[in-house]
Structure 1
Amino acid sequence: MPTSTPIINALIVEPNADLKYPYQFLSKKYQLTRVKTVKEAIKTLSSYSFELFIISASFSPEKQVLLLDAFKNCFKDQVIPLVIIVDLSVPLSAIVGTKWSDKVCILSATASRKLTLLTVESLLSV
């Protein structure tokens, strides 16, 4: 009998509802919850448990800090890997300075399937 891989819950905070990549590359073992606003994300954080946090660099630095702070406060006992997605169609993206306990990576919306999966898997295995 094959063993099933546990589902990994991931929160995606992405204001561009039309941006499909690299999100569609995440395999079936990911349960994706996608919200468009920081307010929705903060509300969602209090309702669910997540193993992966994906945010867009399209948010202002202030909103990113607000979001990261809320996420950190919801998961005080563990460090959840963080992926920051840069949408290259946005003229100005910001990436806030964060070390995030060395569990952070940056991907562009043009990242290949292989790069996306390898990067996310490596973050989860650290």
Structure 2
Amino acid sequence: MTRIKAPNLGEQFGSLGEFIAAQRRAARLSLRQLSEQAGVSNPYLSQIERGLRKPSAEVLQQLSRALRISAEQLYVRAGILDPDDHPSLPVETAVLADTAISERQKRVLIDVYASFVRENAASAAEAAQEQAS
């Protein structure tokens, strides 16, 4: 049986800066609007998006709040967190990258997905506990 390799979501956007720029455009924010909302200077944000600067974890958190995405996504892209420790990030990234749905619809989809993951983890923990008894 031949497996079709799905494109790596990290490769879809390239660098951290390209990902931030794509998220900014998807949120329909100008560079100036995002810089104001995140509390960083316009030139600094421009340098981040062009890959000339590597932002700190604090700046990434400010950007994630302004973009309404998880900070973990930006931390993984920046190499701060290991993607293997955050298996739901590819789903979140795919939903956030979708331009066919609104920002509100994206948040609802991610919230529903996260609730399913939590529910299944709780069920698995209960089943493991029952088997151990």
Q: TM-score, normalization: structure 1? A: 0.28
- Larger strand share, 1 or 2: 1
Higher relative contact order, chain-length normalized (CA < 8 Å, sep 6+): 1
- Larger helix share, 1 or 2: 2
> Which is greater in Rg?
2
Q: TM-score, normalization: structure 2? A: 0.27
